[in-house]
Every structure is written in C-alpha cells, then in structure tokens.
A = this chain, B = another copy of it.
C-alpha cells in the first residue's frame, strides 16, 4: 500500500491495525561511467514497494536526495548537507507521529545516508519527547540497508567476488537493470579500478576515484542478477520489518 496512492481515510483505517510505515531513502549521485545517478533511490524504492506488498505495510514517498557530499565533484550528483537531512527527517517524523505512526522503517539504498539517519533518529526522539507529542515515547526508527542484507551480500560475493567493490557495484547496477531495463548503459570501463581509499571531501574523492567507481566492475551486472537481488532483499527486509513491528510491542 503506497501512501501516495492512498487517501487519507484509507490511512486512518490503516492506522487502526498498524503503526508502522516504510520510508525509502536513496541518493542522487554518480555511479561510475555506467551506473545510473538514481541507482540508490531506484533500488530503495523498488525494494520498499516489494516489502510493502509482502507485509501489507504502508510505503511512504521516496527521499530521492540523500547525503552524498563526497560525490559532488561529478556532474549530476546532488546532496543535502547532514544538518539539512536531519531537519528533513525530523519534519517527516513529526508529521507522521502526530498522525499516530510509531514505527519508521527506512529502506536505504546508500551507505552515505546511514550515519546521518542515525543522528537524525536521536535528534527526533528527543524533539518529539520534549514537545510531548502523544505517542512520542513509543516512536522507534530503524534502517534497513538492502545492500547489507546477508542474502544479498552472499549472492554478490558468489557472483562477483572482489569485483563487487563498494560503490557503483554490479549488484546495485543489476538491480537497476532489472527495474529499468530500458536504461542499461554501456561505456568503456578501465580494468584497473581504485579501491580502499577512505572517503573525505569531494575533490579528494574524485582525485582518488577518477571515474567514480570504488573497486567495482559493474560490467558484470545483468538484469537477471538484479531480479535475484531484488527478491532476496525483499524477502529479508520483509522479515526484518515484521520483527521490528513485533519487538516494538
């Protein structure tokens, strides 16, 4: 059940049986010469919809632009500053908590969002509690990173080994190929690809990762792989979500 395709009376009804909502969050950032700039948002949104269908959960709108400041030296990348993203999350959860939601499950497509999301959750729990919004003390947030699901991780390792890398990975590219077969890109990829260098500022990132990839060979991706990743992630995160709802009781 997608929030965007629901009416407010339907949401009112939904709240009678569940306090949970799934919020996809991605990023808008370079993904190497062949990866889509929307990769992280596309993956998060597709998987969130799948999890929503599997678990009958409401799925909110996708946060398309996340924390990707280190990718800013590549054209087309967009980012919120962490402090802005914290404000966004706080506003989202304030809105939804006032309506009665209490379990927020962020399905995340981008590693760079994780730290800021965690910071935002802390800030929001505090904010809601200080304001004594009814239900504030019951609010719980959780991040589900699809690319860190053990089933996903294992398949990626099996299919790609070390060529999975850590950004513009074949697994995420495969998933976008499955969701958007009309947008499969080809471009020459140097065999040698930088890896292992930590992430600092944007200019430094581009100096060390000149084509945007981090240790990955996205040429290995196929739409069929993508379907496999999609299904594994949906299954695993559906279980995670259901346990999250239960535990919170």
* Residue positions of A touching B, CB distance < 8 A: 2-12, 15, 28, 30-38, 41-42, 60-65, 67, 69-70, 72, 74-84, 86-88, 91-92, 94-96, 98-100, 112, 114-123, 125-126, 128-131, 133, 136-142, 180, 182-183, 185, 187, 198, 200-204, 212, 247
Whether A99 contacts B86 by the Cβ 8 Å rule is: no
- With CB as the reference atom, state the residue of chain B lying closest to A27: B61
The interface residues of chain A, by DSSP majority, are classed as helix
Whether A80 contacts B91 by the Cβ 8 Å rule is: yes
- With CB as the reference atom, state the residue of chain B lying closest to A76: B11
Q: How far is the CA of A125 from the CA of B37 in the complex (A)?
A: 22
Whether B65 contacts A37 by the Cβ 8 Å rule is: no
| Also in contact, A88 and B86, with CB within 8 A (given A100-B75, A185-B7) | no
Jot down 14 A-B pairs with beta carbons below 8 A, ordered by A: A7-B35, A8-B37, A9-B187, A10-B185, A61-B78, A69-B123, A72-B126, A74-B99, A79-B91, A79-B95, A82-B119, A115-B122, A137-B201, A198-B247
Residues of B within 8 A of A81 (CB): 87, 91, 122-123, 126
| Also in contact, A83 and B37, with CB within 8 A (given A9-B187, A201-B136) | no
Whether B204 contacts A8 by the Cβ 8 Å rule is: no
In-complex Cβ contact of A75 among B12, B75, B82, B183 (8 A):
B12
Whether A4 contacts B82 by the Cβ 8 Å rule is: no
Whether A200 contacts B87 by the Cβ 8 Å rule is: no
Whether A82 contacts B86 by the Cβ 8 Å rule is: yes
- With CB as the reference atom, state the residue of chain B lying closest to A133: B130
Q: How far is the CA of A72 from the CA of B86 in the complex (A)?
A: 20
- With CB as the reference atom, state the residue of chain B lying closest to A205: B125
| Also in contact, A37 and B99, with CB within 8 A (given A78-B60, A140-B204) | no
Whether A65 contacts B72 by the Cβ 8 Å rule is: no
> Shortest Cβ distance from A179 into chain B, in angstroms?
10
Whether A126 contacts B201 by the Cβ 8 Å rule is: yes
Q: How far is the CA of A63 from the CA of B88 in the complex (A)?
A: 12
> Shortest Cβ distance from A195 into chain B, in angstroms?
14
Q: Known pairs A82-B86, A82-B123. 19 more at Cβ < 8 A?
A: A4-B41, A7-B35, A7-B37, A7-B187, A8-B30, A8-B76, A11-B75, A60-B78, A61-B78, A72-B95, A77-B95, A81-B122, A83-B86, A115-B116, A115-B119, A116-B119, A125-B200, A137-B204, A139-B201
